[in-house]
Chains A and B, each alone.
Chain A
């Protein structure tokens, strides 16, 4: 089951660049939350702070509080532990090129020392079914490399890989921006199905996509969270002038 995310006074820097300024918001469990805003507004940095990927950059710094299911991920647990609970799907599909389709999905478990064959087989099948990829790859599981699939299939493979470690939250950083419309539609269908079991945070440049998949939407601009509300409210009756300007296409 998914868990909620509470963010209080989050600040992030790359070197001297203050990329996130005093972000406070509450992301409810088992819903899809979309983050929109122009390039460089900090929305990607924000999701990377939610699973402590931000700090893998040596010049990055972060302050503030992020609580996932009530636990502060910066003070009460380790980065490795956090990332096992919070899966991430990146902008460009990034399957492990030397691994088979099967090993890609099983990698999160295998690399953490899990070896039980029967459970691995079950997990791989369940995750691929969840990611709506099973029927397309079931005959080549151990024969083909993950890199041999098409872009859209690779992205669903990456989703299956993230689901296989049974996370509570799924972060998606523009998961469909490198894909064609058909693959994009498949990913969106998937988000729709997955949100009953996981809390989903999706960064997107595509406002229709946000409107289609998300219950709630946050609008970022220049490192600040301008507005966070139900998707319906944001797209029909935003409270802030800047949000309205952005969604009506007046800038960005």
Chain B
């Protein structure tokens, strides 16, 4: 019996070779994936960092031809629009995901909801912008921060809902039984046990959705419009970083191009910082040995 499992020298060499080949293939693929990301970021720092100064964060844009000025209104505008979007998209998305995984299993409605979410995820963002233009901007007769928040919020829903569903389904059945066996009502078990156990994954889904819409430009063209002046009002047009970058990058002035690079850098840093902050806050309380 034993000889059957003993390998020849040739066999061992072949195994050494395939093992190393597979390892290096994995390393190579990783580099291939990470390299463009690093390249983009370095390029942004190289071209944008030199135009970053205190004025960039505190001043409004100046008329063409004048130098200086900043994107303070766009930074604040982005924060306003993204907060609105998160306030709408995350609760609705999580609630939808909970329905799909816990209450709608196998029902017709859940199949429809899941299918709709997947379709919604595939709708081009410019079409979403036009739709919200028709639903909010046209009836209210004004472009607005609210319309911008709504369109980005709706775009967040499918990602948040589908990740929540997947993560809730990964919670072992035995954990749910433990809660029900203690005489905990089903709704309580779903919120306090299943959702809580799935939370790290759910948060990742929310962050993915957030990062994705933070850079959207097209839907904002039809909703938030952009604004060269200070505005934090929800029913007025508002500036946002991607809009400002879009305008400045296409403009004819070198000064604008430099500011566009700086704006891109700030946008990326804004996304990375908010995602890291949420990660830090939500993983701080995790206990030793929790999985």
Contacts and interface: CB of A to CB of B under 8 A. Distances in A.
Interface string B92-133: 000000000000011000000000000000000000000000
Contacts, number: 93
Most central of A84, A111, A143, A162 by chain B CB within 10 Å: A111
B289 A147 contact: yes
Interface in B179-198: 179-185, 188-189, 192-193, 196-197
B249 to A, nearest CB: 45
Interface residues of B, number: 27
A87 interface: yes
Most central of A84, A94, A158 by chain B CB within 10 Å: A94
Interface string A135-159: 0000010011101110000000010
Interface stretch (A62-70, A95-103, A184-192, A202-210): A95-103
Given A94-B177, A111-B189, A83 B290 contact: no
A165 B179 CA distance: 12
Contacts of B87: none
Contacts of A248: none
B65 interface: no
B179 to A, nearest CB: 7
A145 B288 contact: yes
Given A108-B182, A111-B189, A98 B290 contact: yes
A108 B192 CA distance: 11
B275 interface: no
A122 interface: no
A162 to B, nearest CB: 7
Contacts of B193: 96, 111
Interface size class, chain A: 35 or more
B290 A88 contact: no
B291 interface: yes
B291 A97 contact: yes
B100 to A, nearest CB: 16
A92 B189 CA distance: 19
A111 B181 contact: no
B287 interface: yes
Interface in B142-197: 172, 174-175, 177-185, 188-189, 192-193, 196-197
B183 A165 contact: yes
A111 B191 CA distance: 10
Contacts of B287: 98-100, 143-145, 148
Interface in B20-49: none
Contacts of A17: none
Contacts of A180: none
A83 B181 contact: yes
Contacts of B234: none
Most central of B199, B290, B291 by chain A CB within 10 Å: B290
Contacts of A112: 183-184, 188
A107 interface: yes
A92 B174 contact: yes
Nearest to A51: B181
Contacts of A80: 183-185
Contacts of B185: 80
Nearest to A104: B178
A98 B182 contact: no
A56 interface: yes
A145 B289 contact: yes
Interface in B250-289: 286-289
A83 B181 CA distance: 6
Given A97-B175, A107-B182, 7 more contacts: A80-B183, A84-B183, A98-B199, A111-B188, A111-B192, A145-B287, A147-B290
